[in-house]
Structure 1
Amino acid sequence: MSELCFRTARELVALMEAGEVSAVEVAQAHLDQVDRVNPAVNAVVSLDPEITLADARAADDARRSGRLLGPLHGLPVAFKDTHDAAGFPTTYGSPIHAQNRPAESELLVARLRAAGVVRLGKTNVPEFASGSHTFNRLFGTTRNPYDLTRSAGGSSGGAAASLASGMQPLADGSDMGGSLRNPASFCNVVGLRPSPGRVPIHPNPLPWQTLAVQGPMARNVGDLALMLGVIAGPDDRVPLSITEDPAVFGGSLERDLTGLRIGWSPDLGGALPVEREVVDVIRKRLHLFEDLGCDVIEVQPDFSGADRCFRTLRAWQFQATFGDLLAAYPGQLKPSLEANIREGAEVTAADVARASKMQGELFQRFAAAFADEYDVLVLPVSQVLPFDADIEYPTVIEGVAQPTYLDWMASSYYVSAIGLPALSVPAGFTDSGLPVGMQLVGPYRHEQLLLEVGRGLELAAGDPPFTPPPTAAG
């Protein structure tokens, strides 16, 4: 049954609907894949096969009685270990919360469960989802399934690595500075940072903030759209939630893209150093846009102010979220996280005011650019290839020093600062076999456009099957 682990989510749903395979068989195939692969990759944590198989039996019983649980009926999913899921620990990758077992699931998990998913476990994260490399003192390091010496990215690194390894067909994640996009890029999967409010977050101590979002990951754009249709949609408890019916994501993603204006910037308007191999892989992919009839132009987007805006608001948010935790557990957080929290304590009201004003200016600047210059902006997801898993972060890019654990992922967090949706899609591999992702950025609330373009790229490339990593066989 191991071939089930690399069927698309839509194919698995269809097979179960047709009675060709049961939810128990699908669940057992994925549990077996976890047994084979996870010891090397270390992506799935807090596994509980008894819960998984009980959920799967319940899904089969429901189908036999004529009750369809939802569009994801019977699909096994492991939830990010920062997302509360009843029945499993939520540790945030920290020994402080090693025994935390929430009684209730948060909104995203509840929506997935209502759509019929079978609970598989949790996926590994950096400590408190801080940083884009997945390691912590509780569970250790998640490794890239395409090269076990390399990082899987983060903070949704366990999610991306488990997807790529066939341990689950869909995954949830979150993204403040690139945490859905960077691991998708590193692991050859698809990750969407939605517009703030597209996927409402509840509970949320800062419901008016726009930096942190939750979203879907998958091995192809169609599966990602399927999941987005489940987790998107308004919630009255979330003030920024977008009211558009998420059913829009359940329709066809195939459209004529002739004349679509693609703005390509290899270095975000000259703002950032990017490794040459990253740019080379993406450049080779640009012809697909032309094959689709798009007009590709190299542009110089103006991201001035994005760095200060993001860093100020992020530090302020970290202090608001983790300040009390640091006070209660001094010396028990990883140093880079502690430094960010302390930095937030130094942020003044004037700093926040300037950053908020700059965020508004950035949003208007890019709204004008989308109206006048391009329909979709194409950027590198990450400035670097998957790096050595035994270091915390890259310290140099093309000869340019990266002083902190944030600098190297600016190509993602500049987009976060503006509040725009961004889709990470596979762009190909380097000569040494490392995955590289391409970032498609669209106007606010235009996720459907990004999905259509992403699907167009898959079709233009011949819609190849997903390329499993070498570790997938265990």
Structure 2
Amino acid sequence: MGKPDPSTALWQRSATELAAAIRTREVSSEELVRSCLNRIAETNPRLNALVDVRPEEALAAARRADAQVAAGGELGPLHGIPVSIKINTDQEGYATSNGVAALAGRTATADAACVTALREAGAVPLGRSNSPGFSFRWFSTNELYGRTLNPWDADRTPGGSSGGSASSLAAGMTPLAQGNDIGGSIRFPAACCGVVGVRPTVGRVSDYGPPAFADTPDGPVELDFPPTVHNCAVQGPLARNVADARLALHAMSVPDLRMPQGVPAFPAAARPADQIAVTVVRGNADVKNDAAVDRALDAAAARLADAGYAVEEVDQLSLLTEAARLWALLITEDIRLILPVVQQLGDEAIRTALGGHFGYAAEVWGERPSLETYINGWARRATLITRLQELLGRQRLLLTPACAELPFEQDADQAGPDRNRELFSAMWPMTAVPILGFPAVTLPVALDGGLPVGVQLVGGRFEEDLVLDAAQVIEDRTPAIRVWDREA
């Protein structure tokens, strides 16, 4: 990237540009943090995307970063760059509340591994990003902090559960954001808000956090996470462009063998575009795409073809349809284990949303799937992983919708069984991928009716750079989609 345009406000510039400018002392981290704080003061009162901002703490960290630059020491790739951290992720000295009022005093005594990786790369944490209660909805509202708005349209969801991350990015509050994803929680908010979301391969970015304990009559007992958390959940970055997302992903990719799925190393970089095939998967039998979604897919496919990718199309890929159905089995049965806690501590919205979730899963798998069904589901998942990896290898990508609909109306999951069924059907691209653990990126390709419309790219396991290369090709051929351009 070239030298930042001095006429552009610091909060508007990319993380890649700013990291280079801080390194050469053209810009200080303190100046950047102050610019972001001013933007937060301007936009966050309306959007409610960041819920715990401590200006003096962030400015002190920025001054320490500037002192390191002045001393000539070794600098990390994100040195001095502000990043938001989600309220369900441990950050020392902050409440890991998950948007639950009963957990508002649950202050973390140490950082989660992904936060440690960001700090070690030089990033400056600036604000906690909002989520739904228990991070279980595709909407970002909770009883503790309230509702986060989509900066493009307040009546549409900013996505969930990393809705605060995506909304704050789109509005320009920070250049980077951390999120996590087990059912679209990075990728869907990114698509709703017109930014880039990266879901890494399970095992690439550490999901390790300090142990959690529950009080019992016999004393504290360490809590264990269910299988889907270990096999499907990931931590990852959101950014305003592909280059920044790549920069943050590489910074967060620190091998950590404390993770059950952790790996010690990652594959080499990707191949040239003319060696890569792209299969466009337009939908599945359960749902019809909004016309704007089909237009976005067509545009993305054309941009990839223009760059030399071999593009082909199929109406459906039964493997992905089956994976989305498995998500409704495996995730739901794992949630069942903690349902009493959610019902006791959660707000009315999460209880209603979970009722819809269980209702949808019951339509597919029955009211109470047997242990045999659950075990066979895990067995089938392993087979689907093998089949998808055989299809993709290291030379093929999938291009799918981010969602069959435009960003949902706020609280659509509170509208009853029929609307819930539509939501789950529309979200098949978001649910199919995590149950298999593959990497995926969502990015915006168009504005339609004033709303950003995104697509999803999926690659073989640990082929994040291959996916990001294709995303970069699409972005390079797409006019900038920035909410502040619209405001101007």
When the two structures are superposed, what TM-score results if normalisation uses the length of structure 1?
0.89
- Secondary structure, counterpart of 2:236 in structure 1: strand
- Secondary structure, counterpart of 1:160 in structure 2: helix
Instruction: Decide whether aligned partners of structure 1 residues 153 and 329 sit closer, same or farther in structure 2, where only a CA change above 3 A counts.
Output: closer
Is 2:463 aligned against 1:446?
A: yes
Paired residues for 1:62-461 under 5 Å: 62-203=68-209, 205-206=224-225, 209-245=230-266, 256-268=272-284, 270-299=285-314, 300-302=316-318, 303-320=320-337, 322-323=338-339, 325-326=341-342, 329=345, 334-336=350-352, 339=355, 346-371=368-393, 375-392=396-413, 402-403=420-421, 406-430=424-448, 432-461=449-478
Q: How far is the alpha carbon of 1:368 from its aligned partner? A: 3.1
Query: Among the aligned pairs, what percent are the same residue?
Result: 32
CA distance in 1, matches of 2:30, 2:11: 13
CA distance in 2, matches of 1:182, 1:393: 18
Instruction: Decide whether aligned partners of structure 1 residues 401 and 50 sit closer, same or farther in structure 2, where only a CA change above 3 A counts.
Output: closer
Q: How far is the alpha carbon of 1:141 from its aligned partner? A: 1.4
Whether the 8 Å contact between 1:5 and 1:30 is mirrored in structure 2 is yes
Instruction: Decide whether aligned partners of structure 1 residues 71 and 266 sit closer, same or farther in structure 2, where only a CA change above 3 A counts.
Output: same
Aligned residue among 28, 34, 38 for 1:32: 38
CA distance in 1, matches of 2:351, 2:339: 14
- Secondary structure, counterpart of 2:166 in structure 1: helix
CA distance in 2, matches of 1:330, 1:29: 36
Structure 1, unmatched stretches of 5+, are none
Whether the 8 Å contact between 1:22 and 1:60 is mirrored in structure 2 is yes
Whether the 8 Å contact between 1:422 and 1:440 is mirrored in structure 2 is yes
Q: Which amino acid aligns with 1:334?
A: I
Whether the 8 Å contact between 1:189 and 1:425 is mirrored in structure 2 is yes
CA distance in 2, matches of 1:157, 1:381: 15
Structure 1 partner of 2:221: none
- Secondary structure, counterpart of 1:435 in structure 2: strand
Q: How far is the alpha carbon of 1:242 from its aligned partner? A: 2.2
Q: How far is the alpha carbon of 1:285 from its aligned partner? A: 2.9
Cα deviation per residue 1:135-177 (whole Å; 9 max; x = unaligned)?
1111111111112222111111110111111101011111111
Moved more, 291-300 or 78-87: 291-300
Cα deviation per residue 1:377-418 (whole Å; 9 max; x = unaligned)?
11001121123225436879xxx8543764432221012222
Whether the 8 Å contact between 1:318 and 1:341 is mirrored in structure 2 is no
- Secondary structure, counterpart of 1:153 in structure 2: coil
Moved more, 447-456 or 356-365: 356-365
Q: Which amino acid aligns with 1:455?
A: Q
CA distance in 2, matches of 1:95, 1:273: 38
- Secondary structure, counterpart of 2:457 in structure 1: strand
- Secondary structure, counterpart of 1:19 in structure 2: coil
CA distance in 2, matches of 1:327, 1:22: 47
Whether the 8 Å contact between 1:326 and 1:338 is mirrored in structure 2 is no
- Secondary structure, counterpart of 2:274 in structure 1: coil
Structure 2, unmatched stretches of 5+, are 1-6, 212-223
Aligned residue among 40, 50, 61 for 2:67: 61
Instruction: Decide whether aligned partners of structure 1 residues 176 and 310 sit closer, same or farther in structure 2, where only a CA change above 3 A counts.
Output: same
Moved more, 296-305 or 97-106: 296-305
- Secondary structure, counterpart of 1:45 in structure 2: coil
CA distance in 2, matches of 1:304, 1:19: 51
Instruction: Decide whether aligned partners of structure 1 residues 147 and 323 sit closer, same or farther in structure 2, where only a CA change above 3 A counts.
Output: closer
Moved more, 400-409 or 75-84: 400-409
Q: How far is the alpha carbon of 1:329 from its aligned partner? A: 4.0
- Secondary structure, counterpart of 1:119 in structure 2: strand
Question: RMSD value over aligned CA atoms?
Answer: 2.8
Is 2:38 aligned against 1:17?
A: no
CA distance in 1, matches of 2:286, 2:264: 35
Q: Which amino acid aligns with 1:196?
A: V
CA distance in 2, matches of 1:169, 1:187: 14
CA distance in 1, matches of 2:112, 2:68: 24
- Secondary structure, counterpart of 2:231 in structure 1: coil
Q: How far is the alpha carbon of 1:181 from its aligned partner? A: 0.8
Question: Across the two proteins, how many residue pairs are aligned to each other?
Answer: 459
Q: How far is the alpha carbon of 1:271 from its aligned partner? A: 4.3
CA distance in 2, matches of 1:98, 1:341: 27
Q: How far is the alpha carbon of 1:263 from its aligned partner? A: 0.7
Instruction: Decide whether aligned partners of structure 1 residues 172 and 260 sit closer, same or farther in structure 2, where only a CA change above 3 A counts.
Output: same
CA distance in 2, matches of 1:392, 1:327: 17
Q: How far is the alpha carbon of 1:127 from its aligned partner? A: 0.8
Q: Which amino acid aligns with 1:120?
A: L
Whether the 8 Å contact between 2:191 and 2:454 is mirrored in structure 1 is yes
- Secondary structure, counterpart of 1:429 in structure 2: strand
- Secondary structure, counterpart of 2:168 in structure 1: helix
Instruction: Decide whether aligned partners of structure 1 residues 446 and 387 sit closer, same or farther in structure 2, where only a CA change above 3 A counts.
Output: same
Q: Which amino acid aligns with 1:206?
A: F
Q: Which amino acid aligns with 1:51?
A: E
Whether the 8 Å contact between 1:146 and 1:470 is mirrored in structure 2 is no
CA distance in 1, matches of 2:436, 2:47: 34
